[in-house]
Homo-oligomer: A and B are copies of this chain.
Amino acid sequence: MTRQRQVILEELRKVDCHPTADELYLMVRSRLPRVSLGTVYRNLDVLFRNGEIQKLDAGGQHRFDGDVRNHYHVRCQGCGRIDDVFGEALEALAMPRSSAHDYEITGYRLEFDGLCPACVPQAEGGE
Q: A-side interface residues toward B, CB under 8 Å?
A: 57-62, 74, 76-77, 83, 85-88, 90, 92-93, 95, 97-98, 100-117, 120, 123
Nearest-Cβ distance from residue A13 to partner chain B, whole angstroms: 20
Q: Whose C-beta in chain B lies nearest to the C-beta of A62? A: B60
Copies of this chain held together in the complex: 2
Nearest-Cβ distance from residue A96 to partner chain B, whole angstroms: 10
Residues from chain B with a CB closer than 8 A to the CB of A77 are: 106
Residues from chain B with a CB closer than 8 A to the CB of A111 are: 108-111
Nearest-Cβ distance from residue A79 to partner chain B, whole angstroms: 12
Pair A105/B114 contact, Cβ less than 8 Å: yes
Nearest-Cβ distance from residue A117 to partner chain B, whole angstroms: 5
Pair A109/B113 contact, Cβ less than 8 Å: yes
Pair A97/B103 contact, Cβ less than 8 Å: no
